[in-house]
Amino acid sequence: MEKMPRWADVVLIPLISLLLAAFISALVIIAIGEDPIAAVKLMINGALGSTYGWGYTLYYATNFIFTGLAVAVAFHARMFNIGGEGQAMLGGLGVAIACLYIPWPHWTVALLAAIVMSGLLGAAWAAIPAYLQAKRGSHIVITTIMFNFIAAGLLNYVLVNVMRPAGSMDPASAKFPEPTHLPTLHDMLTPLGISFSKAAPANVSLFVALIACVLVWLLIWRMKLGYEIRAQGHSESAAKYAGINPTRIIIISMLISGGLAGAMAINNVMGEAERLVMNATEGAGFIGIAVALMGRNHPFGVVLAAVLFGFLYQGGAELALWTDIPRELIVVIQALVILFTGALDNMVRMPLERIFLALRKERN
């Protein structure tokens, strides 16, 4: 007997969590003497009120879909991959290598190569913690966090000492050549007669992210490998009984996870910056954790949660731009959403379960 209907788990709990986060955020905004209603209006307008806003919201959402899927896949094997940030940084390096050193004839081939390279480097970055977990029992949470710092250090070194063009003062790679530039939503929608902001960074990577969602869904729920990943995640002792090799599943699921996080770089590095800069990931790897939690580790849920966080990012930026609400407070609001939807999930869940049980009893 389930404790409550599925719709309550999937829709009601996140919604209530969000409202609670919004309520506390409103209190904070009132406390610093601003008008919360006006702030919400500004966020909605800024993020969803124009194709420019949508362009940014979807751009951020694309990042979060990749990192959210990464966390979700690992989580099905009960691996908590906190290293999406580092893996995405390495993915950026992969994109830069693919775009800078090989003359591509057309962006389509360049994109394919960039996906492969970023995925490979992201996976490689996840491989070491995965190996340490599977063979040595080093906790994946600790090692992946540490690998985020190592990735930042490595990128710093590569940008300053290897990729920085001679004479430049900026720790960044050279601009990627023209044929590797990805079409933006503006480029893609204009031929269809739809006008879309030219300045917004959302690009073809969004569709790659959506394809990745479908592939992850097929993997987890339709393929033998996904079946084994889920079995291992639910019960390692049962998995062993069934002849599933835990080491293999831990490593493979982490490789897929790292590859997905790495592939995020086709959006932010290849699609937006068109060169590799320091801290290109902007915390998307960590947001992926909240996205996966809120999306219940389901690709479809991940898309919805990613769009929500894209909205928060873009709306937050607008707030910082147009009001006296400081940039730091935007981070507070985002943190509240993560806190309520992720960490405090049980706070909403328990009372709701009790209510549903009581309701069911009434009916009987």
Please report, as ranges, the residues that interact with other proteins according to CB under 8 A: 1-3, 218, 222-224, 227-228, 230-231, 234-235, 237-238, 240-245, 357, 360-361, 364
Q: Fill in the DSSP letter of residue 177.
A: P
Instruction: Give the residues across from 204 on adjacent strands.
Output: none
Burial 327-361 (b: 16+ CB within 10 A, else e): eebbebbbebbbbbbeeebeebbeebbeebeeeee
User: To the nearest whole angstrom, how small is the minimum distance from the Cβ of residue 114 to other proteins?
Assistant: 25
Residue closer to other proteins, measured from CB, 106 or 361: 361
Q: Tell me the C-alpha distance between 124 and 127, whole Å.
A: 5
Residue closer to other proteins, measured from CB, 106 or 136: 136
CB 96, CB 158: distance < 8 Å: no
User: To the nearest whole angstrom, how small is the minimum distance from the Cβ of residue 206 to other proteins?
Assistant: 26
Q: Tell me the C-alpha distance between 260 and 290, whole Å.
A: 16
Q: Tell me the C-alpha distance between 55 and 93, whole Å.
A: 25
User: To the nearest whole angstrom, how small is the minimum distance from the Cβ of residue 136 to other proteins?
Assistant: 15
The four Cα atoms 111, 115, 116, 122 give a dihedral, to 10 degrees, of 150
Residue closer to other proteins, measured from CB, 236 or 274: 236
CB 85, CB 151: distance < 8 Å: yes
User: To the nearest whole angstrom, how small is the minimum distance from the Cβ of residue 90 to other proteins?
Assistant: 28
Give me the DSSP letters along 204-216. Answer: THHHHHHHHHHHH
Residue closer to other proteins, measured from CB, 198 or 222: 222
Residue closer to other proteins, measured from CB, 238 or 350: 238
User: To the nearest whole angstrom, how small is the minimum distance from the Cβ of residue 224 to other proteins?
Assistant: 6
User: To the nearest whole angstrom, how small is the minimum distance from the Cβ of residue 248 to other proteins?
Assistant: 10
Q: Tell me the C-alpha distance between 286 and 215, whole Å.
A: 22
Residue closer to other proteins, measured from CB, 238 or 343: 238
